[in-house]
């Protein structure tokens, strides 16, 4: 059987979206003839706007019209692009599986909307126009088979489907720790109290919530509490002056070797303002869970689904004072970090490589898609 993964994003090599595509591609190669979409001469340009490229549409039409494969796995950023699938695959005689990367992007409320407009006006307005609540309703018009990464994602989308469509949950659980040179050093680490080193790794787009880390650490400084913090910021997204923390115990390390970064910290802070974008479970969270590193994360249905009730330390989203209180309690030893062993057990029970491969195998081989 010939299979193609056709993604509407030319995925950046360091992105979680790229990892998930590569993982599935490598798995499919073990049992199927996999045709790479690069063979269609698509652009290598990396951009938020890449999925709008005309070549993305014309290439998929050619693949469908000429029936170049037996199974077409079409990967789209969010449910708002579902309406494109029946238009671009007309005449295709094989089977189609629509793989939706991210959650239903919704209006984030007035305060956060103003913040996004101030810092990222074009991206915010594009997201408002490409609104899942509007465009995803086209899914009712055709019977298709879907894969999403979480039950939360499924519950958001399932009521938009036609009665004969199916939707399957397969988490996007990559990468894996064998690629981390220092993973064996990380697994033994676990501190409590004033020895804790907190960390953040990622880029500095406003939605990532770095401003809440800044405000929480400045609030703690006023309380004469000085926890250590390492901020490993990638080059994606400029760090505005009003987001920079000027405290002696806060270190900016820029681009880092991830394995070395995880070996230095004892607790990850993940302050995202919204559920997790176009990659439902971000790689940084998956890496932390497999390495047994505790995470401070905003409370939501999605974070509870990933971590359960005790696998992370939760706080009220966008409430920097609540985040500060959590960090203070950990620093003073009033609250203990979850054990690395319990966190890693959660990962292997739900998100191991073998479990994910088994889910894809079951879906494809049952002939549902």
Q: Tell me the CA end-to-end span of the chain in Å, nearest whole number.
A: 13
At 212 the pLDDT is 94
How sure is the predictor about 190, in pLDDT bands with cuts at 50, 70 and 90?
Answer: low
Sheet containing strand 71-76, edge to edge, reads 33-34, 2-7, 71-76, 95-100, 145-148, 166-169
For residue range 58-82, what is the model confidence (pLDDT) as tens digits? 888 999 999 999 999 999 888 888 8
- Of 312, 315, 275, 295, nearest to 149 by C-alpha is 275
Mean predicted confidence (pLDDT) in 91-102: 92
Co-location of 226 and 140 in the same domain:
no
For residue range 102-157, what is the model confidence (pLDDT) as tens digits? 877 666 677 777 877 777 777 777 666 666 667 777 788 888 999 999 999 999 88
Co-location of 137 and 240 in the same domain:
no
Mean predicted confidence (pLDDT) in 312-325: 95
What 3-state DSSP class applies to 182?
coil
Between strands 313-315 and 250-252, the pairing is: unpaired
Co-location of 188 and 315 in the same domain:
yes
CATH at residue 133: 3.40.50.11930
Co-location of 165 and 81 in the same domain:
yes
Please say whether the beta carbons of 192 and 337 come within 8 A: yes
Please say whether the beta carbons of 269 and 285 come within 8 A: no
For residue range 273-295, what is the model confidence (pLDDT) as tens digits? 877 666 788 888 988 888 889 99
Co-location of 156 and 35 in the same domain:
yes
Alpha helical stretches, state H, the chain: 16-29, 54-65, 84-88, 110-119, 121-129, 132-135, 151-157, 183-187, 210-222, 258-264, 283-291, 301-307, 320-331, 340-350, 353-365
Q: Which domain holds residue 211?
A: 177-349
Co-location of 312 and 219 in the same domain:
yes
CA dist 253 and 232 (Å) reads 5
At 145 the pLDDT is 94
Q: At residue 47, does pLDDT exceed 70?
A: no
Co-location of 10 and 106 in the same domain:
yes
Look up the pTM and report it.
0.84
Co-location of 79 and 143 in the same domain:
yes
CA dist 76 and 100 (Å) reads 5
At 344 the pLDDT is 86
Co-location of 85 and 223 in the same domain:
no
At 46 the pLDDT is 47
Co-location of 105 and 129 in the same domain:
yes
- Rounded to the nearest 10 degrees, what angle do helices 283-291 and 340-350 cross at? 120
Number of domains within the chain: 2
Please say whether the beta carbons of 233 and 252 come within 8 A: yes
Co-location of 140 and 281 in the same domain:
no
């Amino acid at each position: 059987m010939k299979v193609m993964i056709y993604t509407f994003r030319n995925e950046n090599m360091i992105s979680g979206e790229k990892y998930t595509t590569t993982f599935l591609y490598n798995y499919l190669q073990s049992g199927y003839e996999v045709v790479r979409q690069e063979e269609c001469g698509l652009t290598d340009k990396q951009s938020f706007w890449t999925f709008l490229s005309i070549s993305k549409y014309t290439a998929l039409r050619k693949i469908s019209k000429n029936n170049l494969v037996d199974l077409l796995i079409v990967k789209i950023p969010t449910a708002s692009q579902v309406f494109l699938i029946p238009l671009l695959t007309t005449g295709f005689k094989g089977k189609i599986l629509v793989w939706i990367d991210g959650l239903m992007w919704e209006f984030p409320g007035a305060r956060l909307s103003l913040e996004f407009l101030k810092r990222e006006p074009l991206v915010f307005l594009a997201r408002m126009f490409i609104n899942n609540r509007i465009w995803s309703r086209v899914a009712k018009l055709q019977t298709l088979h879907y894969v999403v990464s979480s039950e939360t994602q499924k519950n958001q989308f399932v009521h938009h489907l036609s009665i004969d469509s199916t939707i399957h949950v397969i988490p996007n659980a990559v990468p894996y720790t064998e690629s981390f040179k220092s993973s064996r050093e990380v697994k033994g680490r676990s501190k409590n109290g004033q020895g804790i080193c907190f960390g953040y790794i990622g880029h500095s787009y406003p939605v990532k919530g770095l401003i809440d880390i800044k405000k929480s650490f400045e609030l703690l400084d006023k309380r004469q509490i000085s926890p250590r913090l390492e901020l490993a910021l990638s080059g994606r997204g400029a760090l505005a002056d009003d987001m920079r923390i000027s405290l002696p115990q806060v270190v900016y390390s820029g681009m880092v070797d991830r394995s070395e970064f995880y070996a230095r910290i004892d607790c990850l802070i993940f302050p995202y303002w919204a559920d997790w974008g176009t990659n439902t479970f971000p790689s940084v969270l998956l890496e932390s869970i497999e390495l047994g590193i505790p995470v401070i994360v905003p409370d939501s249905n999605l974070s509870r689904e990933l971590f359960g009730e005790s696998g992370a330390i939760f706080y009220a989203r966008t409430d920097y004072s609540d985040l500060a209180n959590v960090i203070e309690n950990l620093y003073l030893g009033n609250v203990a970090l979850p054990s690395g062993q319990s966190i890693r057990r959660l990962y292997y029970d739900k998100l191991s490589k073998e479990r994910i491969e088994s889910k894809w195998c079951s879906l494809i081989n049952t002939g549902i898609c």
